[in-house]
Structure 1
Amino acid sequence: MKVAVIGCTHAGTTAIKNIVELYPDAEIDVFERNDNVSFLSCGIALSVGGVVKNPEELFYASVPQFESLGVRMNMNHDVIACDVTNKQLQAKDLRTANIKNYSYDKLIIASGSWPITPPIPGADLENVLLCKNYDHAKEIIKRSATSRNVVVVGAGYIGVELVEAFEENGKNVRLIDSEERILNRYLDDIFTSPVETSFEQRGVQLALGQTVSEFEGEGTVEKVITDKGEYQADLVVMCIGFRPNTSLFNNQLDMLSNGAIVVDEYMQTSVKDVYAAGDCCAIYNNATKQSAYIPLSTNAVRMGTIAAHNLVCPVMAHPGTQGTSGLKLYHHNIASTGLTESVASLAGVAVESVVLKENYRPEFMPENAEIQLKLVYELNTHRIVGAQVISDADFTQAINTISVGIANNMTIEQLALTDFFFQPHYNNPVNYLNEVALKAMAKETRKTKQAAALT
């Protein structure tokens, strides 16, 4: 069996490891544009901030490691054409410009995503950088060393983490985003407001609700122009978001409107023997019961594993995802899973929510911390569809628990009665997960009584 794998970050790396284990006789050709594999881009901000001293530590697999297993690693090779009907592809060696044809029996597309780059005048100026791969990380670290005024465009996870890193390195930092608040797609405002306050207290300048229209400078960027202001900049990092890197398969495979490849539960695309995994494809969202584009490394790893297992026959179905993620900014420990209220509305899911805000341990304990936990649930079924948490203490694992609940269609009533231990060092007699669900139940009971009183 000849297997071709396009791309070798999280999904590709995981797929290769499993193919080698599952099919010892398989001939594996890997095609990767870069000269490295398995880069953890989520660690770029940690590297910029000096937490990770060497960006070369942000890898968990290597080319020699795979080659020692008999995998043909075609590094610095760009796949420029692929005929999924006839199982042929063309790859260009970026070092020599030589083009070679390859055939395969099975194809795994793990081509990932690429930063969104709007056609902004001046985007080609020096020191206007992207933030995605190892080369980007090295450039950001190198150029930030001599930069004073740093502008980050995009207030998603990567953007806000970079802002924290630059600020802690003593830079003058401005964060620009077209939305009115940071992390708009991931958290509700009661969870983003404390982080915005922390930024402002540390001198970070927030330029929210603004759209970048131009970069100005003589060769090197000097100023960022938005629809509401002008800001000095020695360095600009673009973190607007990502789009699937799938143009090679236009008109060959079924895709969502944004280019994400549609796969079934076995990671099979619309063409037999062609699989897709990672940021290049859509995935079933257990909260909405629909396919969606949720580019996360955790999703990519699972998808790569599943694609490999199903190469010969469908034996392992994908369980779906909740889009669970976590974030640490300064003293804030934040995590979320499933839907926020605004995202639920966009997805057509009618929801209710409750917020629990209390000390996590009994008041007689000498030390304590406040936990703020929000639970989002479907209005008619009481099915839990989302949750968010923030605290100075670390309660992020609670969101993993709720993630399991969403995957298993747990209701607020079931969560309220789930067996969690009590120990004064760790929680109250009624665990905060039970408590927030009980609060949701009480809210629904009041609504039922009010409705009955009106009839």
Structure 2
Amino acid sequence: MKVVVVGCTHAGTAAVVNIKALYKDCDVTVYERNNNISFLSCGIALNVGGVVEDSQKLFYNSPEGLVKLGVKTRMEHDVLDIDFKSRTLKVKNLTNGEVFEDHYDKLILTLGSWPVIPPIEGIDQENIVLCKNYNHAQTIIQKTEEVQNVVVIGAGYIGVELAEAFEVKGKQVTLIDAEERIMSKYLDDEFTDLAENAFINHGIKLALKESVVKFEGEQGKVTKVITDRASYDADLVVMCIGFAPNSALVKGKIDTLPNGAILIDDYMRTSEKDVFAAGDCCVVRFNPAGDYRYIPLATNAVRMGTLVAKNLMEPKLKYMGTQATSGIKIYEYCIASTGMTEEVARATTDREIDAVVLTDNYRPEFMPTFEMATVKLVYDKSTRRILGGQIISKQDLTQFMNTLSVVVQNNMTIEELAMTDFFFQPHFNKPWSLLNAAALKAL
């Protein structure tokens, strides 16, 4: 049996490694546009800020590693077209220009995502860069040494992490976003207020509720970012507006959402027979809302790629959906969230939403040291079902949100969480866990 994998970052790598583990004799061919695989783009800011000094450490596999597994690894090859009826692909070798055909018995689409690039006047000038892959990381690191005024556009996780990294490197940093808060998709204002103050205290300029309308430059190199409210000096601009599914290859040939995200069932199967899809090019089932959404996360991609391998021959292991659990560290604050924020829940569902916020020390005050933590639970007022939560502290308590992810996935109620059994030991916590205590406050 011949398996062809198109694209090989997180989902593709997971699929290939697991297929070869399960089916050693399976003929697997990978086509990838880049000359590398499995780059952890979530580590770019750490690399820029010097926390991770060697970019190579952000790879967890390599083309050579796949070759050792017996995979035909075709780097710098672009799949130009797919004919699902004849099960053939048209492929271009990007190094020599050769175009040829290949065929498959099973096809795996792990096409990934690509940064959103809005049609802003002047966006094609030098020193306006993207932040997605290894080559982008190298460009950003190189240019960081040459510039002083850095503008980051987009205050999601990648944007805020980069803003901090540039400030740590001694740059003058402006962070622009059209929303009124940073990280507004992931956190409610009780949490973003603290993060924003941390940025301001470190000298980062926050330009919120502003939309970029133009880039000005001299001799083809950007010098200013013009918004609908102000103007900012810029030697380097990093675009972090968001991502879209990189699915143009199958547009009109396979079932997708209007934004191009490929529709899949619980076994990673697409609308075409023997064609699977996984990762950032796909929809995910978002458990808190009970619907399908586009949520590109590496954690989703790795799980989905693994599921492709498990279900390659027959449906065996169902997809459990996602809570879009995520975490971030901003200066001294450790922050994590899972499920829906209160704002998102009110805006995207017709449920009656309620929420509770608890601030307490994470362990007893008789201990030599203790630290404040704030935790929030979001829940359906009528069913009592928990829909999401967030936590922030200078102590790393982010694992609480992994626990809450399981709570949300299993449709637990406020009452059930209030009485769930968690251990107590003064080194680590209080007799009532923070999650217990927050749920008790809701009661």
Question: Which aligned runs of 4 or more in structure 1 are off by greater than 4 angstroms?
Answer: none
Q: What is residue 422 of structure 2 aligned with on the other side?
A: 420
Using the TM superposition, give the Cα deviation of residue 287 of structure 1 relative to its aligned residue in structure 2, in angstroms.
Answer: 0.5
Using the TM superposition, give the Cα deviation of residue 95 of structure 1 relative to its aligned residue in structure 2, in angstroms.
Answer: 1.1
Q: Partner letter of residue 183 of structure 2? A: L
Q: What is residue 360 of structure 2 aligned with on the other side?
A: 358
Query: C-alpha deviations, 1:121-176, integer Å up to 9, x for none?
Result: 11111100000000000000001101000000000000000000000000000000
CA distance in structure 2 between the partners assigned to 1:278 and 1:433 by the alignment: 31
- Asked whether the 8 Å contact 1:388–1:399 carries over to 2, the reply is yes
Partner residue of 2:403 out of 401, 404, 424: 401
Using the TM superposition, give the Cα deviation of residue 431 of structure 1 relative to its aligned residue in structure 2, in angstroms.
Answer: 1.4
Q: What is residue 4 of structure 2 aligned with on the other side?
A: 4
Q: What is residue 112 of structure 2 aligned with on the other side?
A: 112
Does residue 23 in structure 1 map to residue 23 in structure 2? yes
Q: Partner letter of residue 438 of structure 2? A: V
Partner residue of 1:435 out of 412, 433, 437: 437
Q: Secondary structure at the match of 1:11?
A: helix
Using the TM superposition, give the Cα deviation of residue 365 of structure 1 relative to its aligned residue in structure 2, in angstroms.
Answer: 2.1
Equivalent pairs counted in the alignment come to 441
| Identical-pair percentage | 56
Using the TM superposition, give the Cα deviation of residue 308 of structure 1 relative to its aligned residue in structure 2, in angstroms.
Answer: 1.1
Using the TM superposition, give the Cα deviation of residue 286 of structure 1 relative to its aligned residue in structure 2, in angstroms.
Answer: 1.0
CA distance in structure 1 between the partners assigned to 2:386 and 2:270 by the alignment: 30
Considering only aligned residues, what root-mean-square deviation do their CA atoms show, in Å? 0.8
CA distance in structure 1 between the partners assigned to 2:304 and 2:55 by the alignment: 26
Does residue 381 in structure 1 map to residue 396 in structure 2? no
Using the TM superposition, give the Cα deviation of residue 258 of structure 1 relative to its aligned residue in structure 2, in angstroms.
Answer: 1.2
Using the TM superposition, give the Cα deviation of residue 379 of structure 1 relative to its aligned residue in structure 2, in angstroms.
Answer: 1.7
1:209-358 equivalence runs, <5 A: 209-218=209-218, 219-348=220-349, 349-358=351-360
List runs of 5+ in structure 2 lacking aligned partners: none
List runs of 5+ in structure 1 lacking aligned partners: 442-455
CA distance in structure 2 between the partners assigned to 1:87 and 1:352 by the alignment: 51
Q: What is residue 394 of structure 2 aligned with on the other side?
A: 392
CA distance in structure 1 between the partners assigned to 2:69 and 2:433 by the alignment: 48
Using the TM superposition, give the Cα deviation of residue 350 of structure 1 relative to its aligned residue in structure 2, in angstroms.
Answer: 2.9
CA distance in structure 1 between the partners assigned to 2:80 and 2:301 by the alignment: 23
Q: What is residue 449 of structure 1 aligned with on the other side?
A: none
Does residue 101 in structure 1 map to residue 101 in structure 2? yes
- Asked whether the 8 Å contact 1:344–1:350 carries over to 2, the reply is no
Q: Partner letter of residue 346 of structure 1? A: A
Q: Partner letter of residue 406 of structure 1? A: V
Structure 1 length-normalised TM: 0.96
CA distance in structure 1 between the partners assigned to 2:69 and 2:180 by the alignment: 50
CA distance in structure 1 between the partners assigned to 2:69 and 2:271 by the alignment: 31
Q: What is residue 129 of structure 1 aligned with on the other side?
A: 129
CA distance in structure 1 between the partners assigned to 2:363 and 2:67 by the alignment: 52
CA distance in structure 2 between the partners assigned to 1:359 and 1:34 by the alignment: 48
Q: What is residue 412 of structure 2 aligned with on the other side?
A: 410
Using the TM superposition, give the Cα deviation of residue 86 of structure 1 relative to its aligned residue in structure 2, in angstroms.
Answer: 2.1
Using the TM superposition, give the Cα deviation of residue 366 of structure 1 relative to its aligned residue in structure 2, in angstroms.
Answer: 2.5
- Asked whether the 8 Å contact 1:127–1:236 carries over to 2, the reply is yes
Using the TM superposition, give the Cα deviation of residue 345 of structure 1 relative to its aligned residue in structure 2, in angstroms.
Answer: 2.0
Using the TM superposition, give the Cα deviation of residue 272 of structure 1 relative to its aligned residue in structure 2, in angstroms.
Answer: 1.1
Q: Partner letter of residue 205 of structure 2? A: Q
Q: Partner letter of residue 435 of structure 1? A: A
Q: What is residue 38 of structure 1 aligned with on the other side?
A: 38
Q: Secondary structure at the match of 2:182?
A: coil
Q: What is residue 72 of structure 2 aligned with on the other side?
A: 72
CA distance in structure 1 between the partners assigned to 2:347 and 2:276 by the alignment: 29
Q: What is residue 57 of structure 1 aligned with on the other side?
A: 57
Using the TM superposition, give the Cα deviation of residue 37 of structure 1 relative to its aligned residue in structure 2, in angstroms.
Answer: 0.4
Query: C-alpha deviations, 1:336-381, integer Å up to 9, x for none?
Result: 0000012112321432100000112222222111110000111211
Using the TM superposition, give the Cα deviation of residue 43 of structure 1 relative to its aligned residue in structure 2, in angstroms.
Answer: 0.3
Structure 2 length-normalised TM: 0.98
CA distance in structure 1 between the partners assigned to 2:124 and 2:22 by the alignment: 46
Q: Partner letter of residue 398 of structure 1? A: F
CA distance in structure 2 between the partners assigned to 1:86 and 1:409 by the alignment: 44
Q: Partner letter of residue 308 of structure 1? A: A
Query: C-alpha deviations, 1:275-296, integer Å up to 9, x for none?
Result: 1000000011111111111111
CA distance in structure 2 between the partners assigned to 1:350 and 1:312 by the alignment: 43
